[in-house]
Amino acid sequence: MNFVQITSQVGDPSHPTLELCMNNEYHFVRKSLKVGLFFCCCSFLSYTDYMMECLCRIFFVLYFCINAIFAQFCTDGSIRLSSGSTYGAVEVCLNGGWGSICRDFWSNEDASVVCRQLGYSPYGAIGLLYTYYSSSTVSHKMIDVNCTGTESNIINCPYNGYSSYPCSLSRDANVFCYSIGAVNVSNCTSGDIRLVGGSKQDEGRVEVCVNKVWSSVCTSSGWNINAARVVCNQLGDNRINVEYGNVAGFGFAQGYGPVLFGYFSCNGNEANLLECTPNFYHANFYCQNRHYYDAAIRCERNCSNGAVRLRGTSDSTYGRVEVCSNGLWGTVCSDYWDYEDASVLCNQLGFSPYGAVSGNGYYYRYDLPVSILDLNCTGNESMILDCPFNGTINFFNCRSSHDAEVICRNATLESDLCSTGDIRLVDGLIESAGRLEVCVNQNWGTVCSQSWDMSDTQVACRQLGHQALGSTYSTGTFGQGDGVIAFGYLYCNGNEQSLFDCQRNVFSVKSGYCTSHQYDIGITCEPLCDDGAIQLTEGPKASVGRVEVCINGNWGTICSLYVDNTDASVICRSLGYSSYGAVSLQGYYIEYYKSHYLFNVTCNGTEESIWNCSHSTASCSGSYDATVYCQDILTPVANCTDGDVRLVGGSTEYEGRVEVCINRAWGTICRYGWSTGDSNVVCRLLGHMGLGSSSYSQFEPGSGPIFMSYVGCSGSESNMLQCYYRQPFQYSFCGHSYDAGISCEAPCQNGTVRLVSESNSYYRRYGRVEICLNNLWGTICDNYYWNEKAATVVCRMLGYSPYGM
């Protein structure tokens, strides 16, 4: 083979280069992606480098000649699938080369032959009318295949060659095959329909016969009213009313075997479901062996005007309300749908009129007309059509998500003589505690604790005449109820006047936790407080906590902004504590379920109560509640300034228990976290020039307030309160036995010397020499002049022998 002659024309896309290697396979060259890549490479190089162009073209021809040669090694009549072991585009070997099959006139009989030849079941095989998978080959080997379904090999079927007429490469024949044991053969005809698993002839799981196999239809998407109507019409009797969904929604059993169809695109007028456009791709990848999505329908003839029923669930006691009007089932718009309407509806259905609960938005359908609008029953009517209402089918605007829904109670349920909206607490030891019950349609029922929170408690307590706050008990603390469970999943914002004003999931009581009285909610409400009262709450002890004030019988908080120690003095004094040493704490309690009642509080310290201080009821720019730390009433007043420090209980003025002044009272410091650096700051603040050391146990413990703990000074503070510290009540062990004590160095006498040893030698006979000048200790430079004579003088001054140096 002369490559020079070949490569001279390979760059020309119209030249049948590959015919030098393999006759009649030029189409293969043009379709291959890799050919395109090589061709682009060569075309680009032809403008840059002749030698590279030549090499590229040589490799180009080599690549396709080798591939064309190896492509010959297949046996005529062999078949394979392009995409998977059981599905894909069909490829067949003819004349030693692989090619695809044109899908024109492709049928299930053709698919049966292919699947049998591949070792799969010929039954249930589907020859797709649409191309979902494309072949990697570049030409059609067969066109107009026309098998009977009994052939053992596809080439035994009548067909035309690929040159008979053009067939687009995007029209490759596809098949779906099933393993021999995966399908059950039935004596049915493709296109037959049947309903399985229903309690009546006109309802059940939809199954379609394909190639002698019954198949389920998947409803994960695309299954709609049009497809359901085609099924009902195909079953005969021109059924008008149709319900559709999946087996789970109807309560029918799931199917088994293949799910051949993903969905059908129907216009509703087809005579046979297979006349609709099916989706097999969806069935294969999303619904295969997932029978939870099996399609189910209920076909019905004309209904009787005024008849009512509940749909959307498998339980006959609750669901979407449907009313028959003019022979057709329609829904009721939930606008103005209330408990009285629900009572009439349930009574008409043979259930108790008491305890009926109205709802909407959970079991709606988009395809049903709305038959009734603005229903307005009094509750005494015997049937829905006796109530005033507006509307004629399809002549008003009401979204399907507003379909009226209801929960009915057992027919034996009697009236409790309560009014809808009433609530009560039962089985508690006090009036303000117990299991919560609500009245719906003259019937008391419990409330499920699922999703219950403090906002719901606030509303319930307010409605009961208590403060809008309390505690929640969600596991039957006050015993379990024995009637109906009326409410579940309430969503209050806390400002509602009644629980019935809150959003709620009406149907939560029919599933999950809320079906059991084990989760009946119980609450304890706080009784109304006396206006003007003040209290501290949520602190580790009675003298510490969030400041709360009572207004209109309810406790509220004070915005912490601008509240200082002077304000704290007034608060503590009004609560029976000392006004001295009172501390305002910032950032301890964030506003949560109690509102800020007082803002911008400003006291001068002499007031008897916080109410006598200047304050406003405007908004608070901060979110924290005022918090105070009060001291015992016997705490004495001290003539000191905030941040002052002193040492108490030592034998000299340079040592003792550390005390700090806050709000005209002395208090100790808890030594937890205390360090030498903190001691140095205290010594410096006291005017002592030397370094301090910690001396915990040698001083008597204090007896007054404890103001600080976990102190962390940087060393540059001019006031003790400038150091970082925490409140002592944060640590349970910070009693007076943990009071911090220190020892500072006394001033030295000028001219005296001392030895400082790192090992603190008992005899002090060696170490660093320090000398006192200007009442301060300092070192001596070890330069050229420091010698044995100088050392002799130091030893003599310290009382040691001057000899031996």
DSSP for 519-583, please give it. GB-EEEEPPPPPTT-EEEESSSSTTEEEEEEEETTEEEEEB-TT--HHHHHHHHHHTTSEEEEEE
Pick from 172, 128, 175, 125: nearest CA to 150: 125
Who contacts 710 (Cβ-Cβ below 8 Å, separation ≥6)?
670, 672, 673, 725, 726, 730, 731
Q: Is the predicted pLDDT of residue 482 greater than 80, yes or no?
A: yes
Report the alpha-carbon distance of residue 298 to residue 198 in Å, rounded: 9
| pLDDT score for 12 | 38
Give the mean model confidence (pLDDT) for residues 726-750: 89
| pLDDT score for 284 | 59
Pick from 247, 332, 236, 252: nearest CA to 293: 247
Pick from 479, 467, 391, 486: nearest CA to 435: 479
Q: In CATH terms, is domain 645-744 a member of 3.90.79.10?
A: no
Report the alpha-carbon distance of residue 654 to residue 453 in Å, rounded: 58
CB contact at 8 A, 333 and 391:
yes
CB contact at 8 A, 775 and 752:
no
Report the alpha-carbon distance of residue 261 to residue 267 in Å, rounded: 17
DSSP symbol at 369 = P
Rg (CA), the chain: 46
Who contacts 635 (Cβ-Cβ below 8 Å, separation ≥6)?
578, 580, 581, 665, 704, 705
Give the mean model confidence (pLDDT) for residues 506-516: 89
Kindly report the three-state secondary structure assignment for every residue of 301-313.
Answer: CCCCCCCEEEECC
Report the alpha-carbon distance of residue 629 to residue 636 in Å, rounded: 16
Pick from 129, 133, 414: nearest CA to 277: 129
Report the alpha-carbon distance of residue 504 to residue 509 in Å, rounded: 11
Report the alpha-carbon distance of residue 44 to residue 53 in Å, rounded: 8
Q: What share of the chain is helix, strand, coil (3-state, %, to 5)?
A: 20, 30, 45
Determine if residue 74 is left, alpha or beta; phi over 0 gives left, psi from -120 to 50 gives alpha, anything else beta: beta
Report the alpha-carbon distance of residue 569 to residue 18 in Å, rounded: 102
Q: Is the predicted pLDDT of residue 742 greater than 50, yes or no?
A: yes
Specify the higher pLDDT residue, 572 or 249: 572
The β-bridge relationship of strands 140-143 and 97-101 is parallel
| pLDDT score for 692 | 72
Bridge partners of 772? 777
Query: Exposed, middle or buried: residue 12 (CB in 10 Å: 0-12, 13-18, 19+)?
Result: exposed
Report the alpha-carbon distance of residue 404 to residue 389 in Å, rounded: 14
Report the alpha-carbon distance of residue 568 to residue 577 in Å, rounded: 11
Does residue 649 sit in helix, strand or coil? strand
| Apex 672 CA angle, 667 and 678, nearest 5 | 75
| pLDDT score for 669 | 96
Determine if residue 268 is left, alpha or beta; phi over 0 gives left, psi from -120 to 50 gives alpha, anything else beta: left
| pLDDT score for 240 | 66
| pLDDT score for 59 | 54
Give the mean model confidence (pLDDT) for residues 288-293: 78
pLDDT range class, residue 632, cuts 50, 70, 90? very high
Report the alpha-carbon distance of residue 754 to residue 467 in Å, rounded: 73
CA torsion, ordered 775, 781, 785, 786, to nearest 10 deg: 80
Q: Is the predicted pLDDT of residue 192 greater than 90, yes or no?
A: yes
Report the alpha-carbon distance of residue 139 to residue 547 in Å, rounded: 87
| Apex 74 CA angle, 71 and 76, nearest 5 | 125
502: tokens are 């809150």
Report the alpha-carbon distance of residue 186 to residue 207 in Å, rounded: 12
| pLDDT score for 349 | 97
| Positive/negative CA dihedral, 110, 113, 119, 125 | positive
Report the alpha-carbon distance of residue 104 to residue 587 in Å, rounded: 79
Bridge partners of 359? 405
Class of domain 79-181: alpha beta
| pLDDT score for 292 | 85
What are the phi and psi torsion angles at 247 (to 5°)? -65, -30
Flag the least confident range among 559-573, 614-628, 639-653.
Answer: 614-628
| pLDDT score for 371 | 84
Q: Is the predicted pLDDT of residue 80 greater than 90, yes or no?
A: yes
Tens-place pLDDT, residues 133-171:
888 887 889 999 999 999 999 999 999 886 667 788 788
pLDDT range class, residue 282, cuts 50, 70, 90? low
pLDDT range class, residue 763, cuts 50, 70, 90? low
Tens-place pLDDT, residues 3-54:
333 333 333 333 333 333 333 333 333 333 333 434 444 443 444 444 555 5
pLDDT range class, residue 725, cuts 50, 70, 90? very high
Residue ranges, comma separated, of all CATH 3.10.250.10 domains in the chain are 79-181, 193-300, 308-409, 423-525, 534-631, 645-744
The total of other beta-carbon atoms located within 10 Å of residue 661's CB is: 21
Q: Is the pTM of this model over 0.85?
A: no
What are the phi and psi torsion angles at 345 (to 5°)? -60, -50
Who contacts 541 (Cβ-Cβ below 8 Å, separation ≥6)?
729
Tens-place pLDDT, residues 208-230:
999 999 988 888 777 888 899 89
Query: Exposed, middle or buried: residue 715 (CB in 10 Å: 0-12, 13-18, 19+)?
Result: exposed
**Can you name the CATH fold of 534-631?**
Mac-2 Binding Protein (3.10.250)
Class of domain 308-409: alpha beta
Query: Exposed, middle or buried: residue 412 (CB in 10 Å: 0-12, 13-18, 19+)?
Result: exposed
| pLDDT score for 303 | 84
The β-bridge relationship of strands 614-616 and 596-602 is antiparallel
Report the alpha-carbon distance of residue 178 to residue 284 in Å, rounded: 11
Q: Which CATH superfamily is domain 193-300 in?
A: SRCR-like domain (3.10.250.10)
Q: Is the predicted pLDDT of residue 591 greater than 80, yes or no?
A: no
CB contact at 8 A, 519 and 488:
no
Bridge partners of 204? 197, 297
| pLDDT score for 696 | 72
Q: How far is CA 435 from CA 471, 502, 504, 518, in A?
A: 12, 19, 19, 12
139: tokens are 């030409």
Specify the higher pLDDT residue, 703 or 43: 703
What one-letter code names the amino acid at 33? L
CB contact at 8 A, 269 and 311:
no
Give the mean model confidence (pLDDT) for residues 344-368: 89
Ranges of beta strands (E only) in 277-393 are 277-279, 295-300, 308-311, 318-325, 328-332, 352-360, 370-372
Tens-place pLDDT, residues 597-618:
888 899 999 999 999 999 887 7
The mean predicted confidence, pLDDT, of the chain is 84
Q: Is the predicted pLDDT of residue 108 greater than 60, yes or no?
A: yes
Q: Determine the straight-line distance between the first and last CA of the chain, rounded to whole angstroms.
A: 109
pLDDT range class, residue 767, cuts 50, 70, 90? confident
Helix axes 50-70, 33-45, angle to 10 degrees: 160
634: tokens are 């016997």
Q: How far is CA 212 from CA 86, 200, 307, 764, in A?
A: 18, 25, 41, 111
In CATH terms, 423-525 corresponds, of 1.10.275.10, 3.10.250.10, 3.30.200.210, 3.40.50.970, to: 3.10.250.10
| pLDDT score for 40 | 40
Ranges of beta strands (E only) in 55-180 are 79-81, 87-94, 97-101, 121-128, 140-143, 160-161, 174-178
Report the alpha-carbon distance of residue 716 to residue 680 in Å, rounded: 10
Does residue 792 sit in helix, strand or coil? helix
Which pairs from 183-187 meet CB under 8 Å and 24+ separation?
183/121, 183/123, 183/124, 183/213, 183/257, 183/258, 184/213, 184/214, 184/257, 185/123, 185/212, 185/213, 186/212, 186/213, 186/214, 187/212
